Structures are given as C-alpha cells and as structure tokens.
Structure 1
Amino acid sequence: MTTVKEQEIIQQKFKEKMDEDELLNCMRCGFCLPSCPTYIESGFQESHSPRGRIALMKAVVDGLIEPDEDVERSLNLCLGCRACEPVCPSGVKYGHLLEQARDIINQNKKHSMPVKWTRKMVFEGLFPHQERMRHAVNLLGLYQRSGLQHTVRKIGFMKLFPDHLASMEKVLPRVPSMKEMKNRPKHLNAEGTPKAKAAFFTGCLMDTMFLETNNATLKLLQMAGCELVIPDNQACCGALHGHSGEKDRAKQMAKKNIEAFEQTGADYIITNAGGCGAFLIDYDHLLIEEPDWHSRAVSFKSKLKDISQILADLKFTENRSLKLPSQVVTYQDSCHLRNVMGTASAPRMLLQAIEGIVFKEMEGADRCCGSAGIYNIVESEMSMQILDHKMEKVHDTAAAVIVTANPGCLLQMKLGIEREGLSQKIKAVHIADLLLEAAGS
C-alpha cells in the first residue's frame, strides 16, 4: 500500500513525465472497448478498459484523483496486449502510456522486502545475464532428467500448488543440457545461393528452454538463403523490465543490443518471439530522450523482422515443398506480433502453403490468450478466465494443432490443452518447428 507521501510524489511525477499530448489524443470514442480482454472479462468495467485507464492517468495528472491502490490495480490488471492500438482512430500509443505510468509508480513506491528482493533478483541478477539464465534453466533440466519430476508427481506434491501452476509444470518443454545451450554457433552459411545476410536475436528463454525452436528458426533461415550471424554479446530484449516498471534497466539492455547488432552489418535482424520483437521495435521510443541513441534505434528498428515475415519476403514456400499428414491446423496470434509489429498475414500464408493440412481460422484468434509474460502467474484468475474462453474457440475449429509465434503463447495454449484434458488429441507448436517438420528436415 502506498503512503500519502508516496502518492504525492507519484502524482508529481505523473505531471512531469506522462505524455499529456498522448493522453489528450484519446477521444473517449470507445472503439477500443470490444478489443480489450480485461474490459470484457471484468463484466464491462470502464476502469478495466484502455479508455478508462487513460482517463485514470489523466485524472492523476490533473490532480483530480490520487494514484491510490485502485489506480495501480487497474493498470496492473492490463495485459498490455495493445489490441486497442490498431483500432484506435486517433492512433493513441496506449502501450507507451501504460509503461510510463507503471514505471513512475514502481520507482516511487516502497516495496515490501520480499517483493524488493524478488524484483532485484529477477531484473538485475537473472535476465540481464544469459549465463545465469542458462544455469537457472539447467536446474529445471536436472529436475526433469534426474527422476525428481516423476517422484514429485507420484507423491502428489504438486497438489499443494494452485491448479494452473500444477498444470503449467506438466507442459514445460524438455530442457536441453548445458552443453547444448552453450553450443551456439556465431556464423552459419546459407544453403544454396545467398539472398540476404541476417542477424538472429536469440532471446533469453528462447535460447535456453526453447532452444530447439531457435535451432529450427536458424535452419529455416539457412534454407531460405540467409547467411546468418548470431552475436554472442547480445542481451535480453528488456521487455519484462519495460512492462514491469524497470525502464532504466530496459534502456541499458536496448543500448547493448543496438551496439551488438550494428557490428554485424546484417541486412535484417530476425526474431522468432512476438513479445521480444514488439519491444525491440519500440527501442526508438524507449530511447527518444537520447538523440544519438534514438537515431541508432531507428536504424535498428528498420531491419527488424519476424521469422514468418522474412520467410514470406524471401518466397520460402515458392522454392520449397512443404508437406504434412492430413490434419486441421489453427493459428493463435501473438498479440505483440500482430498489434505492434503488424505481422498477421505472413504466418497464415506460410501455414496455408503446407500440403496436407486444412487451415481453420479461429474466431478471436487476434484476442490475447492470457499469457502476457508473467501475467498468467501474477494475475492467474483473470488469465485462466481468458484462457478458458480461448479454448472454447479452439474446440470450434476441431483443430489437432494450435500454432503460435511466441513462447508465452505456446505455453499458455499447452496449459489450456492440459486443463481441458485434451493432451492426447491436440498439440500446440511454434510455427518454426511446424515449418521445419513440413520441410522434411
């Protein structure tokens, strides 16, 4: 709970730092309301809509209300999916406003010692250091490979945890060994005639827990004619920090990544995680107050593409036969890939080019699945409510495969399948893994 003094400081910081022009851009038209999952799932509470949250931010700036627990609760309950942005006739950058508000609150309130310690460990001690991330993920691998996981499940230990966490433990992917995680090449040649030089953004969890998907992505890029550079001095994208009120640390990682990828001389910078890509493409906004870095961020942004988009641009499906056994496949959009990076048609085009599959568009595929980084852990009730409704739409497609383009979405859809007891009938896969399978590699 924030003290009166903290609220006074937060209110002053809102006046100094919030983009009032952007706040005033909101016309209160309500076009955003049907696109907002928390507005719908909360029973149409205005304070849980983009329009309502902007109104709360503006009221704090104007001194009409105090930045109390209700305001903070409204901001924290937001998924940050940014589905409101494409439908906004005024082009309000709601995501930027949300991150700024969260940053102001988190930097000017006193956290309890457990929260302070946890934030320090995660934001300072773990994510900025890939070697530490490997060791942390390796502990999970040891848990899986040692037989401890089997024992824990057999004695019913997971029953002590909430149902969604117990189910989440079941759907975690097989973690590669430390040797596999460290065996990352720095350069790969294109297959056949080179068409482009691409630098690959490996990510934190993607290059540890989802290493197989990263390897599949690299293979696809080689097959598409890309010479590949994988900078070993790249850092975490900073998304978790930026979304959680740790903006300064996000800036530090942004600068490190810009420097790392500038040195590659690549034509493109490729990512295979929608959440990472959306934050990377916003580096120009993140560094807007630092002119030198801002111009470098603009150049960085101009080269950024998702794996599905670069494959489409390089006409991957025209030059290679893709085939799978007969099955119905559907696609769940990554919110950030669609709403921020503007990539929606490319993954669908790639899937529809696979011989043997029937692609069935899911109703509301563009609506958030409820993962949203760590949202499904810290806001589990709302997350599971959203997921349950998402699984109703999956049922309607009769799909055997749900394809995603982001690790969080992938785990969330696996969680939905597990909760519905459908693990023997439906699987969730990353688009890179499915495409590589279809290519026969």
Structure 2
Amino acid sequence: MNTKEKERIQHDFKEKMDYDELLNCMRCGFCLPSCPTYIESDYDEVHSPRGRIALMKGVVDGVIEPDEDVKQSLDMCLGCRACEPVCPAGVNYGHLLEQARDIIYQNKELPKHVKVIRNVAFKGLFPYQNRMIGVTSLLGFYQRSGVQQLTRKSGIMKLFPDSLRTMEKVLPEVPKRKEMKNRPRYYKPIQQKKKKVAFFSGCLMDTMFLSTNNATAKLLQYAGCEIVVPQNQGCCGALHGHSGEKDQAKELAKRNIKAFEKAEVDYIITNAGGCGAFLVDYKHLLKDEEEWKERAEHLSMKIKDISKILVELDFHKKPLKLDQQIITYQDSCHLKNGQKTFMEPRQLLEAIQGASYVEMKDASRCCGSAGIYNLVEPEMSMQILDYKMEKTKETKAKTVVTANPGCLLQMKLGIEREGLSEEVEAVHIVDLLLKAYEEANL
C-alpha cells in the first residue's frame, strides 16, 4: 500500500468503525478454540478473532499502520462467525470484519486484473439473474456437448491449480436454460394448508442448484405450505457484503426488500445458510438509512430456514425412509452462527427410518468454503478441508448432508480429493429429505 492509501484507510477506520464494538472485546480468548484459521496457522494470534479485533482497534487508535499484513490477516478470516456464540461479551465480530474489509477494499488500488474480476463478478454478474442464467447455460453446454470430456482428455485442465481441477469434476449437472427461465411463481399446498410462505430462490440456487430449489418447493408443499416466489428478487448480497462491496450489498438488499414486502406471508423461506444469515442481517446493513431500516427489520424477522419450518410443521413426524446407511451432517457456519439453527437439521435426519445418524466430531467447524474463500485462499481452505475429511471418515458415513451450496461443493471436493467418490456422496438436506419422504409415502 502506498502512503495515500494508508492515510485514507486510517481516516475511514476512525470515521466508520464501530469503536464501542471494538471495545466490547475483553481479550479473554474464549474465541480461540473455535477459530479454524487460528488453529490451522499453528495458533498464530494474528489469525484469531481476538487478534484481528486488536489490529482493527490499533488502526483506529493510530498505533498500527494499515499495511499489507493487516489486510492479509483480515483476508485470511473465513468469516464463519464461530467466535460469536462463544463470546461472553457478545461481540458482533462479523459486522466488524465486514466494516474493515469494506474500508480497505474501497480505498486500496487493486491490481487491474483483480479489479476487472471483482467488477465483472460483483457488479456485472451476480446482481442480474438473466446473466447468471446465461453463464450457467454456458456451463451446461460445456457439460452436455462433449467439450468437457474433450477438455479433460486434452490435458488442458493440468494448467489449472489442483483445487480448481477437482472442483471442475464435482460441479453439479446444471439445468437447461428453458428450465431456469420458466420456473413457477406459485405453488399450492399438497397437504392441508398450514402456512403461506414466500421462497427466497437466490442466484446460484436458482441456476446451478435449481433442482434443489425445486425439491425445496415440493417439500414445503408436502408440509402444507402455500408458496409464492416473488419475481423481482435476486442475489442476497452476501458475497458483496463479505468481500468489501458494502454499497452494492445495500442496493441488492433494497431490491429484495421491495420484492418481498408486497407478499403477505407468514415467513420467507431460505435453503442456503449463507443467504439466510445475510438476509437476517439486512436490519444491521441498513440500520443507518431512515427510509429502509424498518422495512429491512420487517423482512429480517420473517426469514426462516427450510429445516426450521419443517420441524415447526412436524414434518419430522411424517414417515421418512431410506436404504440402510450411515448419514452425518456438516453444519453451515452461517446457518448455525448467523441464523441460530442447529438442532432442526439433526431432528429431521434422525427421523429417517433405515438410516443411522452419526454426529461428526466438530461438525460445526467451517469446511473451508466460505463463499469464494476456497478460490482466493486455496492453501488454507484445503488445509481446513483436510481436517473436515478426517472427521467425516471417522463417522463411516455413506452420505454427508449439508445445508448450503458452498458447503456442498466443498464437501464434494473433499470426497473427490480423498478418492472416496465411489463410497461417499454429499447431498443437500432438502434433496435427501424429499427422497426419504417420497420413498416412504409414494
């Protein structure tokens, strides 16, 4: 960083960082055992929540220079928020991290290629669902046309890093453009109506993972829900908010608020832990905007994960059945730490007849996906994933269940890296529950 960049960053840290929140950290260290990067960096305090807060406060106080080391410490953080539930002072670490990253990335001159990639992704792609559909359609053409097989046989993939080569192997078979463009906007309940809900379909979930969204709608129908899918909704903004693009995240939040506030529903249902947690956080994101803060809070209060409403509607008491197997569960960090949803997925999985549920040790420790973390910090991400796979193998599970698309791809990546693809599969909880319900009832 040059001198002018450092001066701008230091000025904005003083002006914009929540100093009271920084002071709430008592330096007690309760957060340390819960932090994956602290553990995997051989207990380096710089890569702990307590250490990062100390760096932020030091920059505000003017005793620490906001140099590349400070940026690297903040970039290395997964943003999993595992430190928050164990903090006796209730420090909102996730909010501090987002504030700090936003200040740094809005004031630092990035390399041209990085700037182009960020602009294309954050401003040119994710906010526009039609463009997401277009890019996903290209991926579908790559998969179905024979180009994928040709690319693999040619050896071109060897030019890419190992993690990207493996990720290419585990990408789901994406839907056709027509399916993505013609998704239903209304579903009647199949069982007696119990609730009317709106479904947050998301961006990646409604393109690359459309089949899981379709399964979510069917599960809600079986549970007795009338469902509306507002047409003008879009990306939740989580990737933007976590990556130093706070203004863009606010614009996406406002668009979603407008899309959902006309829907007279009991809840807004999500099936992606990361999206759900960020939607809940809209009330914080827009707390300083008079026109939006109440509207944001109203939306945030209605957010509910699919697993939570299913338990609320006693779906786990319905007949559920699978072939005899061991299943285990990998927590979505933001579902657990952001939405405070922990027991409900387990209640649902434990209710499946024929399957034995085995709890994974450290199931709630981050898998290393963390949005785009596995792309920008591949070494640490794979280190964290290796630990997760050790614990997965200890369960002897045939099926690893997740509740977030990033976690799903990361666990598939881990299974492929370990050479277990013939023995173990990773699935979204919605897909597994739908299969279990239909095998038992249809």
TM class, shorter-length: over 0.9
**How far apart, in 2, do the equivalents of 1:106 and 1:423 lie?**
39
Moved over 3 A (4+): none
Q: Calculate the TM-score normalised by the size of structure 2.
A: 0.99
Whole-Å Cα distance in 2 between the matches of residues 135 and 313 of structure 1?
37
Alpha-carbon distance in 1 for matches of 2:164, 2:185:
36
Q: Distance in 2 between matches of 1:10 and 1:67?
A: 7
The more displaced of 111-120 and 377-386 is 111-120
Q: What amino acid sits opposite 1:3 in the alignment?
A: N
Distance in 1 (CA, whole Å) between partners of 2:137 and 2:38 is 39
Q: Partners of 1:339 and 1:373 in 2: how far apart? A: 15
Shift of 1:192: 2.6
- 1:321-377 deviation line (CA, Å, top 9, x unaligned): 100000000000000000010001000000000000000000000100000001001
**Residue of structure 1 in register with 2:228 after alignment:** 229
Q: Which amino acid aligns with 1:167?
A: T
CA distance in 2, matches of 1:108, 1:211: 37
Q: Give a deviation string over 1:290-332, Cα, whole Å, max 9, x none.
A: 13311111111111100000000011122x2100000000000
Secondary structure (helix, strand or coil) at the match of 1:154 reads helix
Task: Give the counterpart letter for 2:20 in structure 1.
Answer: D
Mapping of residues 113-262 of structure 1, within 5 Å: 113-262=112-261
Structure 1 gap segments, 5+ residues each? none
1:38 lines up with 2:37 in the alignment? yes
d(CA) in 2 for partners of 1:344 and 1:62?
38
CA displacement at 1:158 relative to structure 2: 1.1
Q: Which amino acid aligns with 2:319?
A: S
In the alignment, does 2:85 pair up with 1:89? no
Among candidates 340, 344, 351, match of residue 342 of structure 2:
344
CA distance in 2, matches of 1:312, 1:306: 10
Equivalent-residue separation in structure 1 for 2:267 and 2:172 (angstroms): 29
The CA distance in 2 between the partners of 1:279 and 1:117, in whole Å, is 25
Q: Which moved more, 1:189-198 or 1:217-226?
A: 189-198
What CA distance in whole angstroms lies between the structure 1 residues aligned with 2:7 and 2:411? 42
1:277 maps to 276
User: Distance in 2 between the 1:345 and 1:168 partners?
Assistant: 30
Instruction: Quote the residue 1:362 is aligned against.
Output: 360
Q: Secondary structure at the match of 1:327?
A: strand
Structure 2 SS opposite 1:439: helix
Tell me the SS of whatever aligns to 2:324. strand
1:240-293 alpha-carbon deviations (Å, 9 max, x no partner): 100111100100110111111111111100000001001000000000101331
- The one-letter code of the counterpart of 2:24 is N
| Alignment-mate amino acid for residue 334 of structure 1 | S
Question: For residues 165 and 8 of structure 2, what CA distance do their matches in structure 1 show?
Answer: 40
SS in structure 2 opposite 1:28? coil
Task: Give the structure 2 partner of residue 73 of structure 1.
Answer: 72
Percent identity, please.
68
Separation in 1 of the partners of 2:316 and 2:97? 39
The AA in structure 2 aligned to 1:409 is: C
Q: Which residue of the partner structure matches residue 389 of structure 1?
A: 387
2:119 and 2:156 map into 1 onto residues whose CA distance is 29
The structure 2 residue matched to 1:323, chosen from 307, 321, 324, is: 321
Select the residue among 407, 410, 431 that pairs with 2:405: 407
State the aligned residue count: 439
Q: Secondary structure at the match of 1:367?
A: coil
Give the AA of the match of 1:306: D
Deviation at 1:155?
Answer: 1.9
1:372 is aligned, of 362, 370, 373, to 370
Alignment match, 2:62: 63
